[in-house]
Amino acid sequence: MPVVDPVYCPLCATRLVPRTAHGAERIACPACDFVHFEDPKLAVGVLVTNDQRELLYTKRNHEPLMGTWAFPSGFVDRGEDVRAAARREVEEETGLLVELDGLVDVYSRDRDPVVYLVFDAHPVGGRLQPGPEAQAVRFFAAAALPPPAFPFDREIVEAWEIRRR
């Protein structure tokens, strides 16, 4: 998801320029004290396990990695309860209503703006059917999971396998 930097100072409308400020290269105003801080972007992923201890995947219907199998995931809206965002993404993509069981872990790395919070969950209602963001949805047995699609998926699956024991 592209993050667009501001071009003009929101305080005095001068064109912003790059300079070192608060210990890093940032976009700042040459005429006043304004500094643009690039905030992290918060994303959630959800590991939904059914009664057969299978893991829920969606076949992505959007870039990046359209057509690959991945966990239900998406960005948290500003001001949105993070756990509500996790439940919302599962419902939007798979039709399932879930109850969160806990936070699996938090994933981030240098120079990546995205901070990824992964929860585990179990279904409590709804009906399994792909939403507009998914080409297909289904549960996979632990021995037959799709290959990891995103950078952290391998360690996320390992964390899931430990937690489901």
Q: Which is nearer to Zn ion, 17 or 32 (CB)?
A: 32
Q: Which is nearer to Zn ion, 32 or 66 (CB)?
A: 32
Q: Note whether 17 binds Zn ion by CB under 5 A.
A: no
Compute the distance between CA of residue 74 and CA of residue 2 in angstroms, rounded to an integer: 14
Cα–chain-centroid distance for residue 52?
Answer: 26
Q: Note whether 27 binds Zn ion by CB under 5 A.
A: no
Contacts of 118 (CB under 8 A, 6+ apart): 44, 45, 46, 47, 71, 103, 104, 105, 106, 107, 152, 156, 159
Q: Which is nearer to Zn ion, 28 or 104 (CB)?
A: 28
Compute the distance between CA of residue 165 and CA of residue 163 in angstroms, rounded to an integer: 6
R_g of the chain computed on alpha carbons: 19
Q: Could you tell me which stretch among 13-21, 67-75, 92-100, 107-115 binds Zn ion (CB under 5 A)?
A: 13-21
Q: Which is nearer to Zn ion, 14 or 129 (CB)?
A: 14
Q: Could you tell me which stretch among 6-14, 61-69, 86-94, 143-151 binds Zn ion (CB under 5 A)?
A: 6-14
Compute the distance between CA of residue 83 and CA of residue 5 in angstroms, rounded to an integer: 28
Which of 27, 28, 34, 69 binds Zn ion (CB under 5 A)? It is: 34
Q: Could you tell me which stretch among 29-37, 67-75, 79-87, 91-99 binds Zn ion (CB under 5 A)?
A: 29-37
Question: Which residue ranges make up the site for Zn ion (CB under 5 A)?
Answer: 9, 11-12, 14, 29, 31-32, 34
